[in-house]
């Protein structure tokens, strides 16, 4: 079953195109990361899916059906900022959320314990720190143990321990078979918890699919010699790398992950009459891959 | 809808502004009427023994329905203010978004706010009914009578109009402080324009002998205001020679049309716009 399918979704704010015909689908049981820099359209897209923004064109389906409010009740969603009644306690705010969702009222103690807010459950929301507000939002999402969660930047405002806890929680939920759709601008976060990813850039979809395929990194081997032109000519006949980049002092050879063998490169060059004065294996960073995809 | 009303109750039952404004309104209904009663008894009656300004007993049956409805109507900005705050709070805290994310439809979100407007108008009207009964029995100048109880119904219409205008302004303006300012400025402005229209209608009647009615009552808030007449009958009767006619049926129809307009406008705004 497809949890969410988005079909050619467009959203314009005046002349600004916030979404430009985005299409993708989220299979059941995945941790689906929506990745993109600030302003790439992640929250706009989730806002449309949650019916708080109206699309200019395009459509989407939830649970393979045309969406209405009853489907939203089955999803635990945290979008952008923690939204609660400031004058009410965490307990009362969760009671309201449970009443709207029509489930989870008896689940409030469990979710408060999960996010370490049991001791402050009777404090007014306005007295909470940003991190506590964020954790209360996560607790609200978990009410009634939903099969699907949509989390928009869930670790914003959390301290390092809180971030690690949320990541651990997401992994646990995934192991329980839940589907999690998570928007983030943090590559590290997506790499650590997501199984699938869609990358957005300026409102357009750059890539979507299995996270290991889309964000697969490459091995980079840097080679240098006194005569770089001669080095380039012999390297040109060498096999095994995907691409080559030349600069004034050295060459960069791009290999599929785990296939670069610097010993054999050294041997090949020496046997072809070139003595290397620089040979180094570098892992291409995820960040560099992300920049490559989004720039 | 019962579920949604329960949710609304959960939102407001611990809210200080709700408790304070409700208490002020309840107090205001009794205080404003008692002040009017006291003023009539201690100031007007001794100074006006012939009943030139006001004859009879406005707080005795059957006049009490009209009198209490009229004076209580002066307090109706308070329930309107309460609804305005309840609506704009949702936008300030962005809980309107969260309510919809959690599983209320946009239509339900607006419907339940408008229903709250109806319920608050009904509770206000019930309070006025009780106040009128108490004043009527307390003054005890005539036997109990339901004649003129239609004024209590007009009070309900007026309360509903104020509440729906407040909801509409809340939905359109969204920011609490700004919305409150718009609500009060609009009320003052409409009353000002209403007086100008009345003067214009008086002049037309005088100069051309054409009676267009009290045109001030053709405006949204004044339409329901205009259905509740001042209880000082003698004074009004004197002035009526110069005033345009009161086309009650027209003013009543306009009040209903305006209510429908506020209802559909609020709903459309919530259904069509980005939240």
Can you tell me the ipTM of this complex?
A: 0.86
Q: Is there a contact between B105 and A83 if contact means CB atoms under 8 Å apart?
A: no
Predicted pLDDT at B79: 95
pLDDT digits (tens, 9 = 90+) for B67-124: 999 999 989 999 999 999 999 999 999 999 999 999 999 999 999 999 999 999 999 9
Minimum CA–CA partner of A70 in chain B: B103
Q: Is the pLDDT reported for residue A248 higher than 90?
A: no
Q: What is the mean pLDDT of chain B?
A: 88
pLDDT for A171 beyond 70: yes
Q: Is the dihedral of CA A47, A50, A51, A54 positive or negative?
A: positive
Judged by a CB distance cut-off of 8 A, whether residue A121 touches chain B is: no
Closest partner residue to A54 among B98, B101, B274, by Cβ?
B274
The answer to whether residues B69 and B132 touch, using CB atoms and an 8 Å cutoff, is yes
C-alpha to C-alpha distance for A96 and B7, rounded to whole angstroms = 6
Note whether A146 and A75 are within 8 A (CB).
yes
Task: Tell me the percentage of chain A whose pLDDT exceeds 70.
Answer: 96
> What does the pLDDT read at residue B29?
94
pLDDT at B100: 95
Question: Quick check: B103 and A87 CB within 8 A?
Answer: no
Query: Is B7–A96 a contact, with Cβ atoms under 8 angstroms apart?
Result: yes
pLDDT at B230: 72
Decide if A96 and B10 are in contact by the 8 Å CB cutoff. Answer: yes
Q: What's residue A240's pLDDT? A: 86
B101–A52 C-beta distance less than 8 A: yes
- B150-173 and B106-139 helices cross at what angle (nearest 10)? 150
Q: How far is CA B157 from CA A27, A151, B214, B216, B255, in A?
A: 54, 45, 19, 17, 8
Exposed, middle or buried, A119 (CB in 10 Å: 0-12/13-18/19+)? exposed
C-alpha dist (Å) from residue B138 to A88, B125, B135? 42, 20, 5
What confidence tier does B54 reach under pLDDT thresholds 50, 70, 90?
Answer: low
Residue (of A204, A225, A264) closest to A18 by Cα position: A204
Contact present, A182 and A151 (Cβ < 8 Å): yes
pLDDT value at B49 more than 80: no
3-class SS letters over chain A:
CEEEEEEEEEEEECCEEEEEEEEEEEECCCEEEEECCCCCCHHHHHHHHCCCCCCCEEEEEECCECCCHHHHCCEEEECCCCCCCCCCEHHHHHHHHHHHHCCCHHHHHHHHHHCCCHHHCCCEHHHCCHHHHHHHHHHHHHCCCCCEEEEECCCCCCCHHHHHHHHHHHHHHHHCCCEEEEEECCHHHHHHHCCEEEEEECCEEEEEEEHHHHCCCCEEEEEEECCHHHHHHHHCCCCCCCEEEECCCCEEEEECCCCCCHHHHHHHHHHCCCCEEEEEEEECCHHHHHHHHHC
* Mean pLDDT score across all residues of chain A: 88
Q: Do A53 and B6 touch (CB under 8 A)?
A: no
- Residue A237 binned pLDDT confidence (cut-offs 50, 70, 90): confident
Rounded Cα gap, residues B123 and B125, in angstroms: 5
Q: According to the per-residue pLDDT averaged within each range, which of A130-144, A185-199, B53-67 is highest? A: A130-144
Q: Which residue has the higher pLDDT, B243 or A178?
A: A178
The DSSP secondary-structure symbol of B145 reads: -
Inform me whether the pLDDT recorded for A87 exceeds 80.
yes
How many inter-chain contacts (A to B, CB under 8 Å) are there?
75
Asked if the model's pLDDT at residue A73 lies above 90, the reply is: yes
Q: Give the residue from A56, A43, A77 showing the smallest Cα distance to A9.
A: A56
pTM of the model: 0.83
| Residue B229 scores a pLDDT above 80 | no
Q: How far apart are CA B133 and CA A246, in angstroms?
A: 96
Chain B residues close to A53, C-beta within 8 Å: 274-275
Comparing CB atoms, the residue among A77, A84, A99 nearest residue B101 is: A77
- Split at pLDDT 50, 70, 90, the class of B260 is very high
Among A51, A83, A95, the residue with its CB nearest the CB of B98 is A83
What is the predicted pLDDT for the residue at A7? 93
Predicted local distance difference test score (pLDDT) of residue B238: 67
pLDDT above 80 for B193: yes
DSSP state of B42: I
Q: How far apart are CA B166 and CA B82, in angstroms?
A: 9
pLDDT at B237 over 90: no
Question: Confidence band (pLDDT; 50, 70, 90) for A295?
Answer: low
Q: Could you give the CA distance from residue B273 to residue B174 in angstroms, rounded to a whole number?
A: 13
Least confident of A19-33, A68-82, B40-54, B121-135: B40-54
Contact B101 A70 (CB under 8 A): no
Q: What is the pLDDT of residue A245?
A: 85
Write out pLDDT tens, residues A273-293.
899 999 988 766 666 677 777
Is residue B50 less than 8 Å (CB to CB) from chain A?
Answer: no
C-alpha distances out from residue B118 to A61, B122, B123, Å: 36, 6, 9
In this prediction, residue A36 carries a pLDDT of: 86
The encoded tokens of residue B114 equal 């408008």
Interface contact A264, partner B, CB < 8 A: no
């Amino acid at each position: 079953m497809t949890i969410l399918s988005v079909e050619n979704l467009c959203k314009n704010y005046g002349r600004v195109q916030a979404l430009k015909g985005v299409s993708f689908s989220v299979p059941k049981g995945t941790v689906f990361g929506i990745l993109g820099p600030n302003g790439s359209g992640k929250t706009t897209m989730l806002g449309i899916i949650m019916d708080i923004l109206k699309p200019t064109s395009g459509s989407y389906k939830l649970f393979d059906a045309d969406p209405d409010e009853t489907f939203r009740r089955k999803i635990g969603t945290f979008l952008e900022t923690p939204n609660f009644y400031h004058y009410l306690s965490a307990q009362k705010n969760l009671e309201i959320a449970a009443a709207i969702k029509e489930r989870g009222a008896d689940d409030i103690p469990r979710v408060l314990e999960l996010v370490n807010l049991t001791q402050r459950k009777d404090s007014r929301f306005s007295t909470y720190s940003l991190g506590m507000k964020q954790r209360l939002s996560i607790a609200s999402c978990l009410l009634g143990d939903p099969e699907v969660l949509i989390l928009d930047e869930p670790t914003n405002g959390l301290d390092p321990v809180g971030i690690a806890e949320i990541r651990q929680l997401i992994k646990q939920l995934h192991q329980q078979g839940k589907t999690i759709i998570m928007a983030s601008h943090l590559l590290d976060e997506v790499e650590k918890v997501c199984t699938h990813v869609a990358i957005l850039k300026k409102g357009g979809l750059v890539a979507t699919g299995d996270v290991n395929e889309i964000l697969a990194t490459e091995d980079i081997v840097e080679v240098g010699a006194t005569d770089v032109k001669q080095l380039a000519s012999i390297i040109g006949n060498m096999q095994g790398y995907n691409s080559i980049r030349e600069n004034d002092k050295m060459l960069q050879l791009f290999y599929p992950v785990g296939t670069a063998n610097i010993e054999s490169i050294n041997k090949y060059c020496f046997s072809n009459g070139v003595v290397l004065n620089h040979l180094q294996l570098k892992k291409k960073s995820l960040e560099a891959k992300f920049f490559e995809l989004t720039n | 809808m019962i579920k949604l009303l329960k949710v609304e109750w959960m939102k407001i039952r611990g809210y200080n502004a709700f408790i304070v404004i409700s208490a002020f309104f309840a107090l205001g209904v009794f205080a404003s009427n008692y002040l009017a009663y006291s003023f009539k008894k201690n100031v007007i009656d001794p100074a006006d023994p012939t009943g030139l300004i006001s004859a009879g007993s406005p707080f005795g049956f059957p006049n009490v329905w009209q009198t209490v409805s009229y004076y209580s109507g002066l307090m109706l900005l308070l329930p309107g203010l309460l609804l305005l705050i309840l609506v704009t709070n949702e936008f300030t805290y962005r809980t309107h978004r969260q309510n919809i994310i959690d599983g209320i439809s946009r239509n339900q979100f607006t419907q339940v706010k408008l229903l709250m407007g109806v319920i608050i108008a009904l509770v206000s009207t019930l309070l006025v009914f009780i106040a009128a009964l108490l004043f009527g029995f307390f003054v005890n100048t005539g036997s109990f009578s339901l004649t003129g109880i239609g004024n209590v119904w007009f009070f309900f219409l007026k309360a509903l109009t104020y509440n729906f205008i407040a909801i509409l302004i809340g939905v359109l303006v969204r920011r609490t402080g700004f919305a409150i300012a718009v609500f009060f400025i609009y009320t003052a402005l409409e009353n000002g324009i209403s007086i100008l229209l009345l003067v214009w209608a008086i002049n037309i009647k005088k100069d051309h002998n054409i009676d267009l009615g009290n045109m001030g009552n053709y405006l949204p808030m004044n339409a329901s205001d205009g259905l509740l007449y001042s209880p000082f009958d003698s004074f009004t009767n004197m002035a009526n020679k110069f005033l345009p006619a009161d086309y009650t049926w027209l003013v009543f129809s306009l009040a209903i049309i305006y209510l429908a307009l506020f209802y559909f406008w609020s709903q459309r705004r919530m259904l069509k716009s980005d939240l």
